[in-house]
């Protein structure tokens, strides 16, 4: 686990302070490395949206907010449905088998948020891979990785895990039976529903 992953993990589990700049020195002590790898990690995390600039110097952990949740799910809905549509007729048995494996793995109760997020993306990715559209694919992956920051709410207070898993199974079913239309409708619903639920929840607690 490299430093960047450790920082993500610590952000997800609220082990790093929000609302104040993260100090390179503090982090270098915390993870027992020099400031150089810390700087590298902060740069990457900033580019991925896990951190935001803090004035003229330093970075901060941004607050989660309903607007970002809404925008992320909106963009995912638009782009991922397109990606699935492009992929659909080229999805192989191997892809389906891979998707099933990831789905299986997601049933495990004791997964870290990061691990669960990764498996979640891998499941979707198995279905998109056949689209063979690297740039679109890369962008969708970016969005999914940003959305991981919100997973804590979806699997915690919102208890959305069961529903999500059922939708995944249904989606895979439609792919296997080559029902493109139903798969696309369900995927959009899967993304938009989770986004709306999350956005509403965040609005409430704000």
Partner DNA sequence: ATTTTCAAAAATGTATACAAAAATAGTCTT
Partner DNA sequence: AAGACTATTTTTGTATACATTTTTGAAAAT
Residue 33 touches which member of a copy of itself, DNA, none, C-beta under 5-8 Å by kind:
DNA
Among 13, 34, 107, 112, binds DNA (CB under 7 A): 34
Q: Is 192 one of the binding residues for a copy of itself (CB under 8 A)?
A: no
Does residue 136 touch a copy of itself according to CB under 8 A?
yes
Residue 48 to residue 4: CA distance in whole angstroms: 11
Closest to 156 measured CA to CA, from 206, 96, 198: 198
For DNA, which is the closer residue by CB, 25 or 109?
25
Residues within window 5-24 making contact with DNA, judged by CB under 7 A: 21-24
Backbone angles phi, psi at 22, to 5 degrees: -85, 130
Distance between CA atoms of residues 149 and 98, nearest Å: 25
* Interaction of residue 196 with a copy of itself, rule CB under 8 A: no
Q: Does 55 bind DNA (CB under 7 A)?
A: yes
C-alpha dihedral sign at 173, 179, 184, 186: negative
Candidates 8-16, 63-71, 121-129, 160-168; binding stretch for a copy of itself (CB under 8 A): 63-71
Q: Give the binding range for DNA (CB under 7 A) out of 51-59, 87-95, 119-127, 165-173.
A: 51-59
| Angular region, 171: left φ>0, alpha ψ -120 to 50, beta rest | alpha
Task: Supply the minimum distance, in Å, between the C-beta of residue 35 and a copy of itself.
Answer: 10
Phi, psi of 138 (to 5 degrees): -60, -40
**Pick from DNA, a copy of itself, none: which does 58 bind, CB < 5 to 8 A by kind?**
DNA
Separation of alpha carbons 28 and 81, rounded Å: 41
37 lies in the site for DNA, by CB under 7 A: yes
């Amino acid at each position: 686990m490299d430093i960047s992953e450790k920082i993500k993990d610590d952000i997800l589990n609220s082990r790093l302070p929000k609302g104040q700049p993260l100090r390179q020195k503090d982090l270098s002590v915390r993870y027992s490395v020099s400031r150089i790898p810390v700087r590298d990690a902060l740069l990457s995390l900033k580019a991925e949206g896990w951190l935001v600039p803090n004035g003229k110097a330093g970075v901060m952990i941004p607050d989660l907010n309903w607007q970002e949740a809404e925008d992320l799910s909106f963009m995912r809905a638009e782009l991922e449905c397109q990606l699935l549509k492009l992929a659909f007729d080229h999805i192989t048995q191997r892809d389906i088998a891979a998707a099933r494996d990831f789905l299986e793995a997601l049933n495990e109760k004791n997964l870290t948020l990061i691990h669960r997020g990764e498996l979640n993306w891998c499941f979707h990715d198995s279905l998109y891979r056949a689209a063979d559209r690297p740039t679109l694919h890369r962008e969708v992956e970016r969005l999914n990785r940003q959305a991981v920051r919100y997973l804590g709410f979806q699997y915690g207070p919102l208890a959305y895990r069961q529903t999500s898993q059922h939708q995944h199974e249904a989606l895979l079913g439609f792919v296997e039976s080559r029902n493109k239309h139903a798969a696309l409708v369900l995927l959009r619903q899967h993304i938009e529903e989770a986004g709306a639920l999350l956005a509403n929840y965040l609005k409430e607690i704000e």
